[in-house]
Structure 1
Amino acid sequence: MSGLSPDDYRRAAGYRRSSAAPASPPARGNAVPVMAYNTYDLNDPALLDFMRDGRIGVVGEAANERMALRNSTFFRAMSLICGSMGMLPVHLMRRKANGETEKARDHPLFNVLHRKANSYQTASQFKAYMQFCALADGNAYALKVKSRGAVRELIPLPRRCVKPCLSDTFKLTFEYQPKIGAKRTLSQDEVFHFRSPLSLDGLRGVGLIDVCADTLGLAMKAQQAAGRLLTKGSMARGALETKEVLGDETIERLKQSLRDNYAGVEAEDDWMVLEEGLTAKLFASNARDSQLKELMQHEAEEVSRFTGAPRPLLMFDETSWGSGIEQLGLFFVTYCLMAWFVIWEEAIWMCLLTEEEQNTMYAKYNEQALLRGSLKDQADFFAKALGNNSAWLSPNEVREAFDRNPRPDGQDLPRPGTTAAQVAEEDEPEPGTPPARRKKETA
């Protein structure tokens, strides 16, 4: 960095003087000088982002998470995917010797995945944050805290501070650069890692902010253009012409009148009073001809393609919802979230279970919360599941789906002429019998 001025060194070290606050005079008396700098540690990954100014797109705009999340479509897609993955429960399952499966509630990892990931994050908060890291950066890392051979906590590692490395003998390690201290090498057994479906080297995933930097930059340019149209008064509809020579005072007074009354967001929709023989000449084009709205709509559609979220779920109002809401939920689960379900389940199986446990245990996402239809649809579904001729759900399993306590006689599948069918027949009143009336309760 030879040949740089002191200000260049400060900028390279992460110091930025606030543009809103001018340099303050020397402190007098007991006055305390105001520090108008944002400081970064030399090992802080934010310093690298500041120096390289994010991901530069074709329009010259730097794409980073702060700019990306200001895009309403990108924010909605990220919150939708991260919120859904954090909301849906993931259970640790065990396959018994007789082939049946059960929830492994007695295993310490069950509560880590289902209740509390660490001392400051619930399971849903942990999953939502890790999902955001995997979407934005392409990778998500967490440190495994073990006790007695089992994982007791999962602590997320800082973003962009971990780098996976594969040796010549195909041994996987992770280089971790903490914000304070020297770089550390973590073994594969110490890190919980999963990545986005796409990868260029088989180790690190491809982040959304990297691949859609051009789209986000162009969308930001469109937003800036819309802002300039409103704040700078560039929506000129015509020009003022005259054959006379206008003096400087007249021109300045006319400009001031235009700025005060007909420019900016508070512009008056009124007639202009012209002077000195001026005539108005309308332009052939106006702000609507620039098709700015169509450009912004196109960029919103581009963002939806990158994220994979259905357009109606991103609040595009040109699509009718109606009875298609169930199909939208199915589309969202099948073509957007299903890949992440598999990625999470395989990462939990591979990184958080021992080799012995991998033979009988696995993780399972429960996506049924997103696929539930109306009460009528659920009633029809469970009625068929409890059908006499081909029942495949027991009454207690149906009651569990609605968070109701099991019944002693509800464990077996209904059979023709018995159990649920017989109870239903016994409960039916005889023909011609009036319905029983409930007695009024007395105090």
Structure 2
Amino acid sequence: MKIPELSKLFRSRADPTNSMWQSAYTFFFGSTTSGKTVNERTALQTTAVYACVRILAETLASLPLHVYRHTENGKEKAKDSQVYRLLHDEPNPEMTSFVFRETLMSHLLLWGNAYSQIIRDGRGKLVALYPLLPDKMEVDRTATGEIFYEYQSDKGKVVLRKEEVLHILGLGFDGVKGQSPIAMAKNAIGMAIATEEYGAKFFSNGANPGGVLEHPGVVKDPKRVRDSWNAVYQGSSNAHRVAVLEEGMKFTPIGIPPEQAQFIATRKFQINEIARIFRIPPHMIGDLEKSSFSNIEQQSLEFVKYTLDPWVVRWEMALQKSLLTLSEKEEYFIKFNVDGLLRGDYKSRMEGYSVGRQNGWLSANDIRELENLNRIPEELGGDLYLINGNMTKLEDAGAFAKKNGGEEE
């Protein structure tokens, strides 16, 4: 298959559509065992899903993102690079770096894929990055096996070469396209939607279960009796109203009370189930039942190490692969800085800095940069590395005494 000739640079970003239509995940989406339809949009209406997506998207978007240049002594920020400016400040005239990364990360968490069109000028210089909606993107191969992207815009289909698309993949089966976490966990999310809807309807009915109106005789128009009863007594606004029954009529409530159906326990379990899908510590989405002052800090560190770090690596590798040319990859690399999330409290940081300073692997300016303070001028010793005078090499032990007291006989 030959890729059609590309039209002018595409920049339109149409409104999202329901992924149930023209979606690669149609097989996975749809009705669940709970009877609720689950897709990206309905799933996001669940508070636990919304909280998990928001936490990961905002956290990754808030991380410092820099382009570095390899140097003889290690690395330095390549602030003169166009890639640096786009990733650190404004990837396009419409978005800040934070909004751009937050948008792509939310796409990645809901659809399992994040796409952005790479705009370059005639000399191949990077000009801008524009997000593309995952539910309108298809990934395919030519007859020779080359990957290309087909995007359904408001003006028709646009075909893009792989060099023109930044594609960040989630967990998948073929390394070409990620799978939607929402589709894979639709039953768990569907149950959360069902219990939430049950609770809403329960309170909309005045927090009382349904019942049966019993009449000793024959009711000629049962629909009229039922409708007149509901009009007066149904709904939370009509709770605690006094019912007046005529002609020997009785009201018998039926249904399973929420506490007997373990309604509350089910809702709490589904919150943890959704947190498990996204690997979010429960305390970060408001479940503090098993958290305490002694373990929350450790859970937060584990969040960075086991949850956020794999996403960071996915981003870094995808950005380097798509945005840097072959020659640039030898000189530059792209890196997120997660050190700020791993920092302990003030006392712990100061104790750590003290150890590094006294053992000679941190200077005063190293510490001040970590604390976002201004550097001490070099002539005042800001870049000096010091060690305690009582530390020496084993082979030099006793050398000072020999020098001052003469050679041993």
TM-score range, shorter chain: 0.7 to 0.9
Q: Aligned ranges for residues 62-81 of structure 1 at < 5 Å?
A: 62-81=37-56
Name the CA distance, whole Å, in 1 between partners of 2:52 and 2:258: 30
CA distance 1:290–1:235, shift in 2 (3 Å):
farther
Identical aligned pairs, as a percentage?
27
**Match for 1:235 among 192, 195, 208?**
208
The question of 1:91 aligning with 2:60 is answered no
CA distance 1:60–1:150, shift in 2 (3 Å):
same
Q: Is the 8 A contact 1:109 1:150 kept in 2?
A: no
The question of 1:326 aligning with 2:297 is answered yes
Aligned to 2:17: 46
Q: Aligned ranges for residues 42-441 of structure 1 at < 5 Å?
A: 46=17, 49=20, 55-58=29-32, 59-96=34-71, 98-147=72-121, 148-181=123-156, 183-196=157-170, 198-232=171-205, 235-236=208-209, 244-245=216-217, 256=228, 260=232, 262-269=233-240, 276=247, 286-387=257-358, 390-408=359-377, 409-417=381-389
Name the CA distance, whole Å, in 2 between partners of 1:396 and 1:365: 21
Could you tell me which amino acid in structure 2 is paired with residue 289 of structure 1? Q
Name the CA distance, whole Å, in 1 between partners of 2:118 and 2:181: 26
Unaligned runs of 5+ in 2: 1-13, 391-409
CA distance 1:320–1:48, shift in 2 (3 Å):
closer
CA distance 1:141–1:236, shift in 2 (3 Å):
closer
Name the CA distance, whole Å, in 2 between partners of 1:305 and 1:271: 46
CA distance 1:327–1:288, shift in 2 (3 Å):
same
In the superposition, the TM-score normalised over structure 2's length comes to 0.80
Name the CA distance, whole Å, in 1 between partners of 2:303 and 2:18: 37
Cα deviation, 1:291-350, whole Å, max 9, x if unaligned, reads 222222222222111111111111113133313332122111111111111111111111
Name the CA distance, whole Å, in 1 between partners of 2:65 and 2:22: 40
Q: What is the deviation of 1:247?
A: 6.8
Q: Which moved more, 1:293-302 or 1:78-87?
A: 293-302
Q: Is the 8 A contact 1:235 1:287 kept in 2?
A: no
CA distance 1:246–1:49, shift in 2 (3 Å):
closer
Cα deviation, 1:170-227, whole Å, max 9, x if unaligned, reads 422222332203x33322221111111x112220001122112222222222222223
Classify the secondary structure of the residue corresponding to 1:337.
helix
CA distance 1:227–1:44, shift in 2 (3 Å):
closer
Q: Is the 8 A contact 2:363 2:384 kept in 1?
A: yes
Could you tell me which amino acid in structure 1 is paired with residue 60 of structure 2? M
Q: What is the deviation of 1:44?
A: 8.1
Name the CA distance, whole Å, in 1 between partners of 2:35 and 2:120: 46
Q: What is the deviation of 1:151?
A: 1.8
Could you tell me which amino acid in structure 2 is paired with residue 305 of structure 1? R
Q: Is the 8 A contact 1:237 1:285 kept in 2?
A: no
Name the CA distance, whole Å, in 2 between partners of 1:74 and 1:370: 23
Q: What is the deviation of 1:361?
A: 1.7
Q: Is the 8 A contact 1:240 1:279 kept in 2?
A: yes
Name the CA distance, whole Å, in 1 between partners of 2:91 and 2:160: 20
Classify the secondary structure of the residue corresponding to 2:334.
strand
CA distance 1:189–1:337, shift in 2 (3 Å):
same
Could you tell me which amino acid in structure 2 is paired with residue 391 of structure 1? G
Q: Is the 8 A contact 2:148 2:162 kept in 1?
A: yes
Whose RCO is larger (CA < 8 A, sep 6+)? 2
CA distance 1:128–1:302, shift in 2 (3 Å):
same
Unaligned runs of 5+ in 1: 1-42, 419-443
Name the CA distance, whole Å, in 1 between partners of 2:192 and 2:31: 11
Could you tell me which amino acid in structure 1 is paired with residue 370 of structure 2? A
Could you tell me which amino acid in structure 2 is paired with residue 403 of structure 1? N
Could you tell me which amino acid in structure 2 is paired with residue 194 of structure 1? I
Q: How many residues align?
A: 369
Aligned to 1:436: none
In the superposition, the TM-score normalised over structure 1's length comes to 0.74
Could you tell me which amino acid in structure 2 is paired with residue 330 of structure 1? L
Name the CA distance, whole Å, in 2 between partners of 1:326 and 1:49: 40
CA distance 1:201–1:272, shift in 2 (3 Å):
same
Q: Which moved more, 1:127-136 or 1:208-217?
A: 208-217
Alignment root-mean-square deviation, CA = 3.1
Classify the secondary structure of the residue corresponding to 1:174.
strand
CA distance 1:266–1:51, shift in 2 (3 Å):
farther
Classify the secondary structure of the residue corresponding to 2:326.
coil
CA distance 1:275–1:307, shift in 2 (3 Å):
same
Cα deviation, 1:133-154, whole Å, max 9, x if unaligned, reads 1111111111112244432321
